[in-house]
């Protein structure tokens, strides 16, 4: 995926801009500029290109921050992302991160309700998502010994969100359970003094995954591990608060204080992109 460095506006930062600022005109001007520049240089990346722009537009429409016909505005983008998807699926060098970015795009698109339902487009979105999930599971299995726990936990968090929204649990249930059990066992064996900031963040992701998947046994296991260590990382402390409050079936959405994650654009994106019952304030 073509990536352009050193740009001031990124998908993550622009998402935070829309969530924090009520200046509709300025926000939409920034979004227009973001899309135009990506199109001008054929940038299809998630961080600062059309893949990320497509996800963001889809997210903003879903949450009624933008008002327009999602299928109409993303018609051409869908076709471009389809081509990226096929390349990603057949390329043995595609990373977990790239797969998660594409999965996020298709999931968000499937969560949109279009004014005119197009069964063929819906079918294409579903089939592309299935291909990407299969590819991710395969990559996870083949590289299980070399992938960091943090990377694995991000996949599991995404999959817990998928089965809560638009994906058949039976298609991922066995590998999902196996990877969750392996990570929990790994951290149960780790000595408290050996935990680093990355491990603390991983535990937070595992706890969010456990609660979203509604598995009380995992919730208790991860909580016991968290209680056995002294959390040093500030982001991890904030994420634990989110996990404590989080209930994927709660009609009264969990409200996230954006102040807790000020300028942590990647964390705000991760929460927006992976949790079902959530709103920001």
Q: What is the pLDDT of residue 2?
A: 45
Could you read off the pLDDT tens digit of each residue along the chain, which spans 281 residues?
Answer: 444 443 478 999 999 999 988 899 999 999 999 999 999 999 999 999 999 999 999 999 999 999 988 988 999 999 999 999 999 999 999 999 999 999 999 999 999 877 666 788 889 999 999 999 999 999 999 998 899 999 999 999 999 999 999 999 999 999 999 999 999 999 999 999 999 999 999 999 999 999 999 999 999 999 999 999 999 999 999 999 999 989 888 665 667 776 677 678 999 999 999 998 777 77
- Residues 48, 52: Cα–Cα separation, whole Å: 6
Domain spans of the chain, in order of start: 1-144, 148-281
Q: What is the pLDDT of residue 173?
A: 96
Q: What is the pLDDT of residue 235?
A: 92
Using alpha carbons, list the distances in angstroms from residue 116 to 119, 133, 166: 10, 27, 19
- Own/partner pairs, 133-142, CB within 8 angstroms, 24+ separation: 133/103, 133/159, 133/162, 133/167, 133/171, 133/172, 135/88, 135/89, 135/94, 135/99, 136/96, 136/99, 136/100, 136/103, 137/172, 137/175, 139/94, 139/96, 139/99, 140/96, 140/175, 140/179, 141/175
Q: What is the pLDDT of residue 5?
A: 43
Q: What is the pLDDT of residue 6?
A: 39
- Residues 234, 174: Cα–Cα separation, whole Å: 34
Q: What is the pLDDT of residue 101?
A: 98
Q: What is the pLDDT of residue 259?
A: 63
Q: Quick one: which of 36, 59, 30 has its CA closest to 49?
A: 36
């Amino acid at each position: 995926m073509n990536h352009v460095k050193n740009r001031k506006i990124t998908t993550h930062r622009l998402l935070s801009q829309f969530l924090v600022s009520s200046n509709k005109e300025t926000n939409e001007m920034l979004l227009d500029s973001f899309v135009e520049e990506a199109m001008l240089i054929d940038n299809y990346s998630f961080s600062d290109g059309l893949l990320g722009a497509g996800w963001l537009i889809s997210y903003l429409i879903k949450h009624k921050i933008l008002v327009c016909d999602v299928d109409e505005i993303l018609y051409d983008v869908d076709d471009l992302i389809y081509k990226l998807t096929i390349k990603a699926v057949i390329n043995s060098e595609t990373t977990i991160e790239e797969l998660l970015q594409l999965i996020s795009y298709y999931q968000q698109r499937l969560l949109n309700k279009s004014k005119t339902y197009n069964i063929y487009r819906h079918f294409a979105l579903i089939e592309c998502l299935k291909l990407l999930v299969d590819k991710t599971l395969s990559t996870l299995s083949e590289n299980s010994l070399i992938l960091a726990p943090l990377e694995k936990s991000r996949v599991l968090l995404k999959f817990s969100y998928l089965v809560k929204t638009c994906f058949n649990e039976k298609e991922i249930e066995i590998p999902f359970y196996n990877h969750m059990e392996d990570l929990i066992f790994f951290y149960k064996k780790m000595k408290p003094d050996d935990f680093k900031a990355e491990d603390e963040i991983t535990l937070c992701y595992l706890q969010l995954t456990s609660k979203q998947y509604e598995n009380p046994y995992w919730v208790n296991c991860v909580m016991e591990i968290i209680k056995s260590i002294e959390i040093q990382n500030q982001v991890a402390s904030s994420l634990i608060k989110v996990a404590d409050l989080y209930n994927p079936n709660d009609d009264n959405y969990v409200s996230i204080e954006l102040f807790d994650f000020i300028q942590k654009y990647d964390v705000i994106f991760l929460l927006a992109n992976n949790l079902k019952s959530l709103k920001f304030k």
